[in-house]
């Protein structure tokens, strides 16, 4: 099944995020908690609140903070250029699934060789958060997907309308931020992305 990853925006309170995710978690595969301004305590409390609200721990991924991911028993950790090396994380915490954010083919192949379980690649299309950077495009996505044997999750400017195109170019899933969490109706948005992913599987 193609994966729907939702990444927190850094623009919402913990309470708002928990409220939204409680409603949408049945339609998504993973929630990435990417909140650089939160303390470890804030992050742990949010994870506990999500769990208490019925969100499965196996759907939660913590960005960067390996220690928090390990201590809370979530599904995995998403590493950035600031994080511990992927090989060291896999060695120290073999039970954690480890994803890595990448922007080039060389980064993708290097991290795949050193134990990454999946990579998040982009940005694929134009997006308001990356207006000064040229989008990678689906051709670049396809090249990356062909160079690695692990899942490639596409990010950046992805809408329900272009999901099928992204999937046709080798992505194993998509990662969405504002398109779901900042939508007028997050539940409807999550359902639309899930439908688009399911439709892409039928077409393929």
- Phi and psi at residue 165, to the nearest 5°: -65, -40
The H or E element that residue 140 is part of is: helix 137-147
- pTM for this model (two decimals): 0.95
Residues 70 and 40: beta-carbon distance below 8 Å: no
Domain boundaries, the chain: 3-203
Q: Taking 60 as the threshold, does the pLDDT of residue 204 lie above it?
A: no
At 1, is the pLDDT very low, low, confident or very high (cuts 50, 70, 90)? Answer: confident
**Active-site residue flag, 123:** yes
pLDDT mean across residues, the chain: 95
Q: Taking 70 as the threshold, does the pLDDT of residue 132 lie above it?
A: no
What is the Cα 40 distance to its own chain's centre? Answer: 20
Residues 102 and 139: beta-carbon distance below 8 Å: no
Q: Taking 70 as the threshold, does the pLDDT of residue 136 lie above it?
A: yes
For residue 39, what are its two tokens? 């303390």
Mean pLDDT within 164-170? 96
Q: Which CATH number fits domain 3-203: 3.40.190.10, 3.90.226.30, 3.20.20.70, 3.40.50.620?
A: 3.20.20.70
Task: Encode pLDDT of 4-35 as tens digits.
Answer: 999 999 999 999 999 999 999 999 999 999 99
The single residue of 114, 123, 143, 169 carrying the catalytic annotation is 123
**Assign residue 10 a region: left if phi > 0, alpha if psi is -120 to 50, beta otherwise?**
left
């Amino acid at each position: 099944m193609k994966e729907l990853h939702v990444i927190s925006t850094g623009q919402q309170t913990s309470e708002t995020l928990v409220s939204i995710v409680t409603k949408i978690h049945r339609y998504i595969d993973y929630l990435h908690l990417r909140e650089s301004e939160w303390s470890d305590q804030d992050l742990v409390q949010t994870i506990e609140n999500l769990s208490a609200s019925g969100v499965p721990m196996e759907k939660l991924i913590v960005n960067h903070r390996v220690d928090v991911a390990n201590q809370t028993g979530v599904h995995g950790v998403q590493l950035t250029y600031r994080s511990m090396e992927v090989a060291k994380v896999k060695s120290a915490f073999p039970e954690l699934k480890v994803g890595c954010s990448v922007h080039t083919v060389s980064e993708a192949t290097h991290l795949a060789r050193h134990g990454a379980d999946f990579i998040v690649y982009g940005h694929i299309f134009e997006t308001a958060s990356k207006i000064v950077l040229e989008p990678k495009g689906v051709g670049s996505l396809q090249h990356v997907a062909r160079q690695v044997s692990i899942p490639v999750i596409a990010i950046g400017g992805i809408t329900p309308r272009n999901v099928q195109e992204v999937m046709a170019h080798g992505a194993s899933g998509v990662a969405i931020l504002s398109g779901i969490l900042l939508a007028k109706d997050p539940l409807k948005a999550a359902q639309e992305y899930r439908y688009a992913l399911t439709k892409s599987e039928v077409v393929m």
